[in-house]
Amino acid sequence: MNILQTGQGELVGWHDPDEHRAWVATHKSRALKDKRTTVQEAVAQYVPNGALIACGGFGHIRVSMAAVYEIIRQRKRDLTFCGKTAVHDSDVLIGAGCVSRIEVAYAFGHELRGLSPASRRAVESGRCHVVAEISNAGYQWRFLAAAMGLPSIPTRVMLGTDTLAQSSAKVIEDPFSGKPIALLPACYPDVVLMHVHRADRYGNCQIDGIVIEDFELARAARRLIVTTEEVVDEDVIREHPQRTLIPYYLVDAVIEVPYGAHPTLMPDLYYFDEAHIGEWLHLSKTDEGAAVYFDRYVYTVEDFAAYLELIGGKEQLEYLRQVEHLEAPLRAPWLEEKK
C-alpha cells in the first residue's frame, strides 16, 4: 500500500478490530436486563480518570448535561474529550479541570454567542492540549468506522489541508479510482454520554428530531450512559420499533432525568436556556468566576432536581417549553448586548 501522507495528530480511541470484537464479546451483554441506575453510580462505574469521552447531541443540542455535571461533581481528571462539535459540554468540562486533552472538530466557541473564555484560556495557557484536528464530517465517520467494526474508512475530506496534516488520518492512493483518498481511523470512545427523549428499562432508545451523529456514536461507544427524559414501558418501544435508534445491547446504563439536557436544547421539549448559558459565559471570563459557577450549580447541589430549582424551577422550564414551541419570544443576554 502506497501511503501518500500521514497526519501528525495523535491517534486517540483506536483499537484493532479483532481486539474490539473480543472486548465486545466479554464486556457487552446481550441479555435483556434492567439497566436503570443513578447518574452518580453510572459515572462512578464507567468514567475512570484518563478515559476518552464523547457526548451525544451537537453544540448546545440534546447534550446529557446531567452526566456532564456529575463528572465535574466527582472531580474526574485527565479525561480526553472528543471535540466533535463540542461546545457547552467541552467548555464546562475543560473549565472545571476534568478534561486536559481534546481532539478538535469544533470547540472553544458558542456559535453566535461568541468564543468560550474558559476553554480558550485553558488551551492558550497549555492546561488543555489539542492532540489532533479533524472536521465534523471526519469525526462522525471515525465513529461510523468503529460502528462498522472496521479499522478505518475512506473519505474525501480534509485532503490538501493542515487539518489533515494535524489529524490522525492517512492518505493513500485509492486502488479503484487511482485518486488520493483519506483513510480516517475508527474511534471508539471509552464512554459516551447521551440524552434521549425516551428509553425503556433495557436501554432501547428513541430520539425525536435530527439524530446528528448519535446513530454512529452510540455504536462506536465502548460504554454508553443514557439519560432520558422518561423511562417508558417496553410496549411503547415495541409498538413502533422503526423509531428505535439505539437498541438495548449498546447501552450500559439508563437513568431517567427530566430536563437532563438543560441548559442545552431538547427538540420539541425545551429551548436553550440563554440566561443560564449567558451566566456561564459571563462568569467564566475568569478562573475565579468559573469557580463561583461550579460552586453554585454543581459542587453544592445535591442532584439534578435541586439544580432545576436553582435555574428558575417550573416557571423557567415552562418558559423554555414555550420558546421551543414558538409561543414566547427568545430572551438572551448576548442578544440584548447586540441591540
Partner 1 sequence: MNQDYNPTELLAYVAAGLLEDNKSVFVGTGLPMIAAMLAQRTHAPSLLIIFEAGGIGPQVPVLPISVGDSRTFYRACAASSMHDVMSAGQAGYVDYGFLGAAQMDPYGNLNTTVIGPHDAPKVRLPGSGGANDIGSFCWHTIIVMRQDQRRFVEHLDFLTTPGYLDGPGARERAGLPANSGPYRVITQLGLYDFDEESKRMQLLATHPGVTVDDVQANSGFELIIPDQVGTTEPPPPQVRRILREIDPTGMVIGR
If the CB atoms of residues 303 and 324 are measured against partner 1, the closer one turns out to be: 324
Binding track over 259-288 against partner 1, x by CB under 8 A: ------x-xx--xx----------------
If the CB atoms of residues 32 and 328 are measured against partner 1, the closer one turns out to be: 328
Considering only 23-31, 212-220, 280-288, 296-304, which stretch makes contact with partner 1 by CB under 8 A?
Answer: 212-220
| Strands 244-246 and 205-206, sheet pairing | antiparallel
If the CB atoms of residues 70 and 279 are measured against partner 1, the closer one turns out to be: 279
- Check residue 60 for interaction with partner 1 (CB under 8 A): yes
Q: How far apart are CA 116 and CA 285, in angstroms?
A: 8
Question: How is residue 201 written as a grid cell?
Answer: 428499562
- Check residue 83 for interaction with partner 1 (CB under 8 A): yes
Q: How far is the CB of 188 from partner 1 (least distance, A)?
A: 17
Among 24, 137, 150, 298, binds partner 1 (CB under 8 A): 137
Q: How far is the CB of 309 from partner 1 (least distance, A)?
A: 25
- Check residue 27 for interaction with partner 1 (CB under 8 A): no
- Check residue 150 for interaction with partner 1 (CB under 8 A): no
DSSP letter for 158, please: S
- Check residue 71 for interaction with partner 1 (CB under 8 A): no
Helix (H, G, I), strand (E, B) or coil at 240: coil
Helix (H, G, I), strand (E, B) or coil at 6: strand
Q: What's the half-sphere exposure (Cβ side, CA atoms, 13 Å) at 236?
A: 14
If the CB atoms of residues 39 and 131 are measured against partner 1, the closer one turns out to be: 131
If the CB atoms of residues 15 and 321 are measured against partner 1, the closer one turns out to be: 321
Residues 101 to 120 in contact with partner 1, rule: CB under 8 A? 104-109, 111-113, 115, 120
Strands of 51-188, DSSP E: 52-55, 79-84, 99-106, 129-133, 152-155, 170-173, 180-185
Question: How is residue 145 written as a grid cell?
Answer: 468506522
Buried b (16+ CB within 10 A) or exposed e, 248-279: bbbbbbbbbbbbbbbbbbbbebbbbbbbbbbb
Q: How far is the CB of 157 from partner 1 (least distance, A)?
A: 5
Q: CB under 8 Å, gap of 24 or more: what pairs does 215-218 form?
A: 215/147, 215/245, 215/246, 216/140, 216/141, 216/143, 216/144, 216/146, 216/147, 217/54, 217/56, 217/84, 217/140, 217/143, 217/189, 217/192, 218/56, 218/192, 218/194, 218/245, 218/246, 218/250, 218/251
- Check residue 211 for interaction with partner 1 (CB under 8 A): yes
If the CB atoms of residues 121 and 223 are measured against partner 1, the closer one turns out to be: 121
Q: Are 98 and 72 in contact (CB under 8 A)?
A: yes
If binding means CB under 8 A, how many residues of this protein chain bind partner 1? Answer: 68
- Check residue 305 for interaction with partner 1 (CB under 8 A): no
Residue keyed to cell 468560550: 116
Q: How far is the CB of 332 from partner 1 (least distance, A)?
A: 8
- Check residue 224 for interaction with partner 1 (CB under 8 A): no
Q: How far is the CB of 61 from partner 1 (least distance, A)?
A: 4
Among 180, 247, 289, 333, binds partner 1 (CB under 8 A): 180
Write out the residues near partner 1 by the rule CB under 8 A: 57-62, 83, 85, 104-109, 111-113, 115, 120, 123-124, 130, 133-138, 140-141, 144, 155-163, 166, 171, 174, 179-182, 209-216, 265, 267-268, 271-272, 324, 326, 329-330, 332, 335, 338-339
